[in-house]
Structure 1
């Protein structure tokens, strides 16, 4: 959403891990021109300072929010009401709210904001313009706006229903941590087989990069596995060990199920403090 196509500013509320990752991606790709960015953050963040150095507005008077076309809400789920409520009176009636928060329903945000809501769940790899983002919107304009903001940073995957967002969050948003944990376990297993810690870690990390390169081709996952796992070979033996008695499937199901349950539990958290108290 460069300055020649935008109809107003983009406000980023919150600059924590995910907010900073989004901001870094915008700066790297110029999906949002820095001059069109307004950033609200209660504490100094490197990404926010970098954006300010390139022309973004940091923590302005709230009257400046009247020029906002999109508000990206990137605070912790328990803090969203406290973050958004003080801003609502200053926003244009046509402003779109884009939530990148897990577990907070669009109807609750819309009830407070009185405006249209889009939900997007990106991975932190948007910072390197290599992310993936789940998208849901009941508003026909939502996907257009969301893709302008996130398509330069991520593979944007549209969902059929909002209730799929928690599962999408677990499969995409949380899964990189699951893969890192498995990679760390592979390195540990390599050390137990005699590799040095440095060698095992470098090899495991390299394997993760190699797997990512293969996944980026779009080829079917079964086909990618078959390319490496020859019948009777070492890879096939390892795969058979992992999948014996359904162990690998159970581990994946347990991880996704637990993440989904946690996302749903966040819906009951309201929070009483938050980022917005710094802008009253």
Structure 2
């Protein structure tokens, strides 16, 4: 949930470059958290009808006279970042806080292309329902007050964790940035396995979807460790134990997940070059 007081107390102009799914989710979270729409500038060449409608609430959409902002949130696609660099630089003054949510784009590259005091962040897609988690790391030039501003803006889409070592961001991307896709794949394969076991496809899909969603919500609300929750479902010699014997075998889920995360981490490092 957004920290409403923190958002309402933010000072200065906030520019959002890129209002696609993630940028749009952040903007929605800011406004819901009480941020004054009149202080928000949005740069988006192809705004969705939803983003365009927010102009009626006071945001400035693609203004021709946009100058340096107090805070710039960069949510453009990483592959278009350098091309957008000159336009972004116009939004950055000597003391502008720059918060990037672009995958694989390092603090050094951000400082080179658009300047400013840089915070690099990696959110994930549950941000769309304010249930994401973001990991952030700041350049040494970022002040405590600017870090607090970045924290407030990022908390509009879910939880935030701060780290000191930027090198960890590749593994963060592999675990939480890409992680929702792994969970969705689990729902897919659980449904497929249900069909193989004889269930009608529609029923198998609903059972898999609701089981994954409900289990995720239970994990979210419970203070128990995931291993404890798993054990609570597992009766000795029962059906769950029979399935877990396969999933937890030496060639089961654990080594597969380790290889998957290693592959995603490696790719993230490659993209940063």
Q: TM-score, normalised by structure 2?
A: 0.90
Distance 1:152 1:86 in 2: 26
> Which secondary structure does the structure 2 equivalent of 1:152 belong to?
helix
How far the C-alpha of 1:140 sits from its partner, in A, is 4.1
> Which secondary structure does the structure 2 equivalent of 1:96 belong to?
strand
Residue of structure 1 equivalent to 2:99 = 98
Query: Given that residues 29 and 153 in structure 1 are in contact (C-alpha distance below 8 angstroms), is that contact kept between their aligned partners in structure 2?
Result: no
Query: Given that residues 17 and 44 in structure 2 are in contact (C-alpha distance below 8 angstroms), is that contact kept between their aligned partners in structure 1?
Result: yes
Q: Deviations over 1:167-202 (max 9, x none)?
A: 111111111011101111000111111111111111
Distance 1:218 1:74 in 2: 33
How far the C-alpha of 1:250 sits from its partner, in A, is 2.1
Higher relative contact order (CA 8 A, sep 6+): 1
Query: Given that residues 21 and 125 in structure 1 are in contact (C-alpha distance below 8 angstroms), is that contact kept between their aligned partners in structure 2?
Result: no
Is 1:58–2:91 an aligned residue pair? no
Distance 1:99 1:122 in 2: 10
> Which secondary structure does the structure 1 equivalent of 2:67 belong to?
helix
Task: Return closer, same or farther for 1:168/1:46 CA change in 2, 3 Å cut-off.
Answer: farther
Distance 2:186 2:7 in 1: 42
Distance 1:177 1:39 in 2: 29
Residue of structure 1 equivalent to 2:49 = 46
> Which secondary structure does the structure 2 equivalent of 1:21 belong to?
helix
Residue of structure 1 equivalent to 2:132 = 131
Residue of structure 1 equivalent to 2:117 = 116
How far the C-alpha of 1:161 sits from its partner, in A, is 0.6
Residue of structure 2 equivalent to 1:181 = 185
> Which secondary structure does the structure 2 equivalent of 1:133 belong to?
strand
Task: Return closer, same or farther for 1:11/1:218 CA change in 2, 3 Å cut-off.
Answer: farther
Distance 2:199 2:32 in 1: 38
Is 1:25–2:29 an aligned residue pair? yes
Q: Deviations over 1:25-57 (max 9, x none)?
A: 333334x33222211111131342232232211
Task: Return closer, same or farther for 1:53/1:229 CA change in 2, 3 Å cut-off.
Answer: farther
Q: What is the alpha-carbon root mean square deviation over aligned residues?
A: 1.9
Residue of structure 1 equivalent to 2:252 = 247
Query: Given that residues 136 and 143 in structure 1 are in contact (C-alpha distance below 8 angstroms), is that contact kept between their aligned partners in structure 2?
Result: no
Query: Given that residues 7 and 152 in structure 2 are in contact (C-alpha distance below 8 angstroms), is that contact kept between their aligned partners in structure 1?
Result: no
How far the C-alpha of 1:220 sits from its partner, in A, is 1.1
Any gaps of 5 or more consecutive residues in structure 2? Answer: none
Distance 1:20 1:140 in 2: 26
Residue of structure 2 equivalent to 1:274 = none
Residue of structure 1 equivalent to 2:79 = 78
Q: TM-score, normalised by structure 1?
A: 0.87
Task: Return closer, same or farther for 1:3/1:100 CA change in 2, 3 Å cut-off.
Answer: closer
> Which secondary structure does the structure 2 equivalent of 1:92 belong to?
strand
How far the C-alpha of 1:91 sits from its partner, in A, is 2.8
